[in-house]
Amino acid sequence: MEEWIIWMMEQFGYLGVYALMAIENIFPPIPSEVVLPLSGFMTVRTDLTITWVIIYATSGSLTGSLLLYGIGMSISRDKLEEWVERHGKYLRLTKADVNRAFHWFETYGYWAIFLCRMLPLVRSFISLPAGMARFSIVPFLFLTFSGSLIWNTALIYTGVILGDSWRDILHYMKVYSIWTYVLIIAVTFLTIWWMRKGKGVRLWR
Protein backbone atom coordinates (compact mmCIF):
# COMPACT_ATOMS: atom_id res chain seq x y z
CA MET A 1 0.00 0.00 0.00
CA GLU A 2 2.82 2.41 0.79
CA GLU A 3 4.15 2.12 -2.77
CA TRP A 4 0.72 2.94 -4.20
CA ILE A 5 0.37 5.97 -1.90
CA ILE A 6 3.81 7.23 -2.95
CA TRP A 7 2.88 6.71 -6.60
CA MET A 8 -0.32 8.72 -6.16
CA MET A 9 1.60 11.63 -4.65
CA GLU A 10 4.38 11.52 -7.22
CA GLN A 11 1.94 11.35 -10.13
CA PHE A 12 -0.72 13.79 -8.96
CA GLY A 13 0.99 15.88 -6.28
CA TYR A 14 -1.46 17.83 -4.13
CA LEU A 15 -4.44 16.32 -5.94
CA GLY A 16 -3.09 12.90 -5.00
CA VAL A 17 -3.03 13.93 -1.33
CA TYR A 18 -6.57 15.29 -1.67
CA ALA A 19 -7.86 12.12 -3.32
CA LEU A 20 -6.17 9.81 -0.80
CA MET A 21 -7.68 11.66 2.16
CA ALA A 22 -11.13 11.78 0.55
CA ILE A 23 -10.97 8.02 -0.08
CA GLU A 24 -9.57 7.40 3.42
CA ASN A 25 -12.65 9.01 4.96
CA ILE A 26 -14.93 6.68 3.00
CA PHE A 27 -12.75 3.57 2.94
CA PRO A 28 -10.91 3.29 6.33
CA PRO A 29 -8.59 0.42 5.22
CA ILE A 30 -6.57 3.23 3.61
CA PRO A 31 -5.47 4.75 6.94
CA SER A 32 -4.62 8.39 7.46
CA GLU A 33 -2.00 7.16 9.92
CA VAL A 34 0.00 6.07 6.85
CA VAL A 35 -1.07 8.70 4.31
CA LEU A 36 -0.36 11.77 6.44
CA PRO A 37 3.15 11.01 7.80
CA LEU A 38 4.14 9.89 4.31
CA SER A 39 2.72 13.15 2.92
CA GLY A 40 4.88 15.04 5.39
CA PHE A 41 7.95 13.07 4.32
CA MET A 42 7.15 13.81 0.67
CA THR A 43 7.51 17.54 1.39
CA VAL A 44 11.16 16.81 2.20
CA ARG A 45 11.68 14.57 -0.81
CA THR A 46 9.72 16.55 -3.46
CA ASP A 47 8.69 20.14 -4.18
CA LEU A 48 5.42 19.74 -2.23
CA THR A 49 5.10 22.29 0.58
CA ILE A 50 3.84 21.58 4.09
CA THR A 51 1.19 24.31 3.98
CA TRP A 52 -0.41 23.13 0.76
CA VAL A 53 -0.24 19.48 1.77
CA ILE A 54 -2.16 20.35 4.95
CA ILE A 55 -4.71 22.36 2.96
CA TYR A 56 -5.31 19.63 0.39
CA ALA A 57 -5.34 16.85 2.99
CA THR A 58 -7.92 18.71 5.10
CA SER A 59 -10.00 19.52 2.02
CA GLY A 60 -9.97 15.82 1.11
CA SER A 61 -11.09 14.91 4.63
CA LEU A 62 -13.93 17.41 4.37
CA THR A 63 -15.02 16.07 0.99
CA GLY A 64 -15.13 12.45 2.18
CA SER A 65 -17.00 13.47 5.33
CA LEU A 66 -19.58 15.42 3.33
CA LEU A 67 -20.26 12.37 1.17
CA LEU A 68 -20.94 10.20 4.23
CA TYR A 69 -22.99 13.03 5.75
CA GLY A 70 -25.11 13.06 2.59
CA ILE A 71 -25.59 9.29 2.79
CA GLY A 72 -26.68 9.71 6.41
CA MET A 73 -29.15 12.42 5.35
CA SER A 74 -30.72 9.97 2.90
CA ILE A 75 -31.57 7.64 5.81
CA SER A 76 -34.61 9.12 7.48
CA ARG A 77 -35.46 8.58 11.10
CA ASP A 78 -38.69 6.86 10.05
CA LYS A 79 -36.78 4.39 7.87
CA LEU A 80 -34.40 3.62 10.73
CA GLU A 81 -37.28 3.07 13.15
CA GLU A 82 -39.00 0.85 10.57
CA TRP A 83 -35.82 -1.22 10.20
CA VAL A 84 -35.52 -1.54 14.00
CA GLU A 85 -39.14 -2.69 14.23
CA ARG A 86 -38.42 -5.45 11.72
CA HIS A 87 -34.95 -6.55 12.74
CA GLY A 88 -34.20 -4.87 16.06
CA LYS A 89 -35.30 -7.87 18.09
CA TYR A 90 -32.16 -9.71 16.98
CA LEU A 91 -30.04 -6.93 18.51
CA ARG A 92 -32.53 -6.22 21.28
CA LEU A 93 -33.12 -2.72 19.94
CA THR A 94 -36.40 -0.81 20.08
CA LYS A 95 -37.74 2.46 18.70
CA ALA A 96 -37.14 3.94 22.14
CA ASP A 97 -33.43 3.13 21.78
CA VAL A 98 -33.39 4.96 18.44
CA ASN A 99 -35.02 7.99 20.05
CA ARG A 100 -32.49 7.97 22.88
CA ALA A 101 -29.62 7.74 20.39
CA PHE A 102 -30.91 10.74 18.47
CA HIS A 103 -31.42 12.64 21.71
CA TRP A 104 -27.86 11.83 22.77
CA PHE A 105 -26.47 13.08 19.46
CA GLU A 106 -28.53 16.24 19.67
CA THR A 107 -27.07 16.87 23.14
CA TYR A 108 -23.44 15.84 22.64
CA GLY A 109 -23.08 15.93 18.85
CA TYR A 110 -20.79 18.96 18.81
CA TRP A 111 -18.16 17.27 20.97
CA ALA A 112 -18.64 13.91 19.26
CA ILE A 113 -17.99 15.27 15.76
CA PHE A 114 -14.95 17.31 16.81
CA LEU A 115 -13.23 14.71 18.99
CA CYS A 116 -14.03 11.73 16.76
CA ARG A 117 -12.17 13.40 13.91
CA MET A 118 -9.02 12.51 15.84
CA LEU A 119 -9.86 8.84 16.44
CA PRO A 120 -9.03 6.03 13.99
CA LEU A 121 -11.99 4.40 12.23
CA VAL A 122 -14.57 6.48 14.12
CA ARG A 123 -13.30 9.64 12.41
CA SER A 124 -14.84 8.43 9.19
CA PHE A 125 -18.13 7.01 10.38
CA ILE A 126 -19.12 9.87 12.71
CA SER A 127 -20.39 11.70 9.61
CA LEU A 128 -23.13 9.09 9.08
CA PRO A 129 -25.01 9.64 12.37
CA ALA A 130 -24.49 13.39 11.95
CA GLY A 131 -26.36 13.22 8.66
CA MET A 132 -29.03 10.89 10.03
CA ALA A 133 -29.63 13.27 12.96
CA ARG A 134 -29.92 16.17 10.48
CA PHE A 135 -27.08 17.93 12.28
CA SER A 136 -26.83 21.52 11.01
CA ILE A 137 -24.47 21.62 8.02
CA VAL A 138 -22.53 24.76 9.02
CA PRO A 139 -21.50 23.53 12.50
CA PHE A 140 -20.81 20.10 10.98
CA LEU A 141 -18.43 21.60 8.42
CA PHE A 142 -16.70 23.77 11.02
CA LEU A 143 -16.23 20.95 13.56
CA THR A 144 -15.13 18.46 10.90
CA PHE A 145 -12.69 20.96 9.44
CA SER A 146 -11.27 21.89 12.87
CA GLY A 147 -10.82 18.32 14.08
CA SER A 148 -9.38 17.19 10.75
CA LEU A 149 -6.99 20.16 10.62
CA ILE A 150 -5.53 19.29 14.04
CA TRP A 151 -5.19 15.58 13.20
CA ASN A 152 -3.76 16.18 9.73
CA THR A 153 -1.30 18.86 10.82
CA ALA A 154 0.05 16.77 13.69
CA LEU A 155 0.69 13.69 11.55
CA ILE A 156 2.05 15.61 8.56
CA TYR A 157 4.54 17.49 10.73
CA THR A 158 5.52 14.20 12.35
CA GLY A 159 6.42 12.89 8.89
CA VAL A 160 8.42 16.06 8.21
CA ILE A 161 10.36 15.79 11.45
CA LEU A 162 11.09 12.07 11.12
CA GLY A 163 12.07 12.30 7.45
CA ASP A 164 13.32 8.96 6.16
CA SER A 165 12.34 7.43 9.51
CA TRP A 166 8.66 8.36 9.09
CA ARG A 167 7.71 4.66 9.32
CA ASP A 168 8.74 4.74 12.99
CA ILE A 169 5.46 6.45 13.86
CA LEU A 170 3.40 3.61 12.39
CA HIS A 171 4.10 1.41 15.40
CA TYR A 172 2.82 4.03 17.83
CA MET A 173 -0.19 4.81 15.66
CA LYS A 174 -0.99 1.11 15.53
CA VAL A 175 -0.95 0.96 19.34
CA TYR A 176 -3.12 4.10 19.47
CA SER A 177 -5.57 2.53 17.02
CA ILE A 178 -5.74 -0.74 18.94
CA TRP A 179 -6.53 1.01 22.22
CA THR A 180 -9.13 3.13 20.45
CA TYR A 181 -10.83 0.01 19.10
CA VAL A 182 -10.72 -1.61 22.55
CA LEU A 183 -12.35 1.48 24.05
CA ILE A 184 -15.06 1.52 21.37
CA ILE A 185 -15.84 -2.17 21.94
CA ALA A 186 -15.88 -1.71 25.72
CA VAL A 187 -18.23 1.27 25.53
CA THR A 188 -20.49 -0.60 23.13
CA PHE A 189 -20.76 -3.65 25.39
CA LEU A 190 -21.28 -1.49 28.48
CA THR A 191 -24.05 0.40 26.71
CA ILE A 192 -25.79 -2.82 25.71
CA TRP A 193 -25.39 -4.21 29.24
CA TRP A 194 -26.91 -1.09 30.84
CA MET A 195 -29.78 -1.09 28.37
CA ARG A 196 -30.54 -4.73 29.11
CA LYS A 197 -30.55 -3.89 32.81
CA GLY A 198 -33.20 -1.29 32.15
CA LYS A 199 -30.86 1.57 32.99
CA GLY A 200 -30.16 2.68 29.46
CA VAL A 201 -32.00 5.95 29.97
CA ARG A 202 -29.20 7.19 32.19
CA LEU A 203 -26.74 6.96 29.33
CA TRP A 204 -28.72 9.32 27.15
CA ARG A 205 -29.64 12.01 29.63
Instruction: Give CA–CA dist 132/128, Å, rounded.
Output: 6
Segment among 16-25, 104-113, 189-198 with least mean pLDDT:
189-198
Residue 63 has pLDDT above 60, yes or no: yes
Q: What are the pLDDT digits (tens) for 76-119?
A: 777 777 766 776 665 556 666 667 667 767 787 888 889 888 87
Determine the pLDDT at residue 134.
Answer: 87
Determine the pLDDT at residue 199.
Answer: 45
> What's the pTM?
0.73
Q: What are the pLDDT digits (tens) for 174-185?
A: 665 565 556 656
Are the CB atoms for 62 and 137 separated by under 8 Å? no
Q: What are the pLDDT digits (tens) for 108-159?
A: 788 888 988 887 767 877 888 888 888 899 999 999 999 999 999 999 998 8
